[in-house]
Structure 1
Amino acid sequence: MKWSAQPIKHFKERRIAITFEKKQEYTDRVKLIEDVRWSSSLRLWHVPDTEENRIRFRIPVEIIYTPSPEIITALKTFESFLLSRRYSPNTIKTYMEALRVFFRYFNERQIGSINNDDIILFNNEYILKKNLSSSYQNQMVNAIKLFYRTVENRNLEIEKVHRPKSEKTLPNVLSKEEVKGILNAHGNTKHVAMLSLIYACGLRRNELISLKPQDIDSKRGILIIRQSKGKKDRIAPISLKLIELLRQYYISNKPTTWLFEGQHKGIQYSAESLQSVLKQALKKANITKPVTLHWLRHSYATHLLEAGTDLRYIQELLGHSSSRTTEIYTHVSTKNLQNIKSPFDDL
């Protein structure tokens, strides 16, 4: 079997992309790998970026190491704590991977002997030298802090560990004309309904695919978003125009468990397929910008602000815990900027 493999980032997750000759026997062999997935958008199979898979596909491994029995036990205890506190699967995965990397760096040390100075050393010699992102650095510090507080029962002076300055990036926003072009691109009612719902209610990708038919309250004109980020429920207004679109979709597709299901009844629509739906719409609408599904959510918030909606309401609609998160949309709104006259015009 001839193949090629390379590390990739897929939906912010570290994976290894695998390409090989199109033969059923090869596909069947790849399917046996744990957590293997097919990407409709990339048109390839991908597996978790782990040391085991790096060895399997001959990708250089930074350090091949077997954790000590002490570390294995401690990590299991920490994972049990995270599960009992009902941390999200993504957070558990992120924290556990961060700690494995951290303890691999200090593979000759006992857990109890690691102190603040060691964390600063790890920050400088591993994270910064490898030019890893500031968000990764923050996740690492958070994981270490929580581990030592819960498993080791001691508080490290995390304040002494340098956290990166938060990156001030602006959200990407589409014009109303561009949004309209995307929503009108598909002839498939299901695809139109999915993209329209994301924009019309400011949904995250996982919030959309986690919706159930009973989450639409057409009589009250609201959509119920259950247990979204931060395990919070919230509601969003839903217009009669959108309700009618969803009614047409429901009659033609007759979903059972989830509002949007895959090829088989009762199976949740995949995030990869949803991204592919957007990609097709962008191509049909002749939009060349690197648009993601989250751009529709950003555009929803910005267009609400430009229409005069109070920031406090926008915060509630988006499910933001802090108003500071919502305030970023004031920096991309063009409502007031358009009233400013450039001195260039008077020359």
Structure 2
Amino acid sequence: MTETAISPLRQRMIDDMTVRHFVEKTRTDYIRQVRRFAAFLGRSPETASPEDMRQFQLHLTESGVTPPSRNAAVAALRFFFTVTLDRADLARRLTVVHEPRKVPLILSPAEVAQLLEAAPGPKYKAALSAAYGAGLRVSEVVALKVSDIASQRMLLRIEQGKGRKDRYAMLSPQLLELLRDWWRIARPPVWLFPGQNPVNPLTTRQLNRAFHAAAQQAGITKRVSPHTLRHSFATHLLEQNIDIRVIQVLLGHAKLETTALDTRVATTTIRAVMSPLDRLTLLRTEHQPPA
């Protein structure tokens, strides 16, 4: 595929995604997938036929592309053919691969406590505690601002989480104390967890590295990731007999596991839930220089 042949078509697709307010990551992923399809064809994707669609999917399968990656290609090409080219007939030739749902790996409360205590410094201890204590995604933790802490209401404001949705997460007393300890040490002006350059927030990669360092220091040999803390948050609340609909709202999920629920829970209910973080015997952050 030549740059001359694709440029107007690519711009049209970018415009279509911009009009629909697609986030930058989605736009980049979709463009990359269409370019991959065009490279397979050896010509402009505008000329694709039903047989080309079949052969491309067969190529992905035989090349050992994982189901998530295949489904990402299907999503991008469906948009491209349905919206940009107005060729829904070709989009219907694309097949989503259904993959078996795996039970997420969970840490025990004792393992969570050991991991948090092993965090490399008060900043990372507070950040990882927020991931577990409020059930936050890593991207939501690093995006927290000081102004998102509503201590009087005991809530954390999550701005533009997954799906570009705002929501409130729980702020437990122990998490509030950890965040206050960190704030007293670093006095961050805007971002609650600033990066190496305080103008920018901590990156997800930096938090991921800190998590794995803490897991190794704590002697945890399971194949864990920062998202394990979020899974553990949900499981530990279920073990406390918290209603699954409440957990659904706390996580900001449209679905919790295989159950699709559309129940609204008042913020008073959120405030009444005890975070699993408060059941751990954590030592409070000592006053030391910022990480």
TM-score (norm 1): 0.71
- Matched with 1:311 is 244
CA distance in 1, matches of 2:178, 2:256: 32
Determine whether 1:114 maps to 2:48: yes
Determine whether 1:321 maps to 2:238: no
Shift of 1:206: 0.7
Determine whether 1:218 maps to 2:162: no
- Matched with 1:205 is 138
Question: Which of 188, 199, 205 lines up with 2:121 in the alignment?
Answer: 188
Code of the residue aligned with 1:122 in structure 2: it is F
CA distance in 2, matches of 1:70, 1:157: 20
Determine whether 1:72 maps to 2:25: no
The two structures, once aligned, show a CA RMSD in angstroms of 1.8
Maintained 8 Å contact 2:149/2:157: yes
- Matched with 1:239 is 172
Maintained 8 Å contact 2:70/2:97: yes
Larger Rg: 1
- Matched with 1:93 is 28
132 and 111 in structure 1: CA distance in 2 versus 1, 3 angstrom threshold: closer
CA distance in 1, matches of 2:202, 2:257: 32
- 1:1-347 paired onto structure 2 within 5 Å: 66-108=1-43, 110-124=44-58, 126-186=59-119, 188-325=121-258
Shift of 1:264: 2.7
Shift of 1:263: 2.5
Maintained 8 Å contact 1:225/1:235: yes
Tell me whether 273-282 or 302-311 shows the greater mean CA deviation: 273-282
CA distance in 1, matches of 2:154, 2:208: 27
Maintained 8 Å contact 1:256/1:266: no
TM-score (norm 2): 0.84
CA distance in 1, matches of 2:226, 2:93: 38
1:59-100 deviation per Cα after TM superposition (whole angstroms, max 9, x unaligned):
xxxxxxx52523221112111221232212221121111000
Shift of 1:324: 4.8
Maintained 8 Å contact 2:148/2:158: yes
Unaligned runs of 5+ in 2: 261-291
Unaligned runs of 5+ in 1: 1-65, 328-347
| Identical aligned residues as a percent | 32
SS at match of 1:260: coil
Ranked by relative contact order (alpha carbons within 8 Å, sequence separation 6 or more), the top structure is 2
CA distance in 2, matches of 1:73, 1:163: 28
SS at match of 2:38: helix
CA distance in 1, matches of 2:124, 2:259: 28
Bigger fraction of residues in helix? 2
Maintained 8 Å contact 1:224/1:233: yes
Maintained 8 Å contact 2:154/2:170: yes
CA distance in 2, matches of 1:278, 1:158: 41
CA distance in 1, matches of 2:12, 2:92: 25
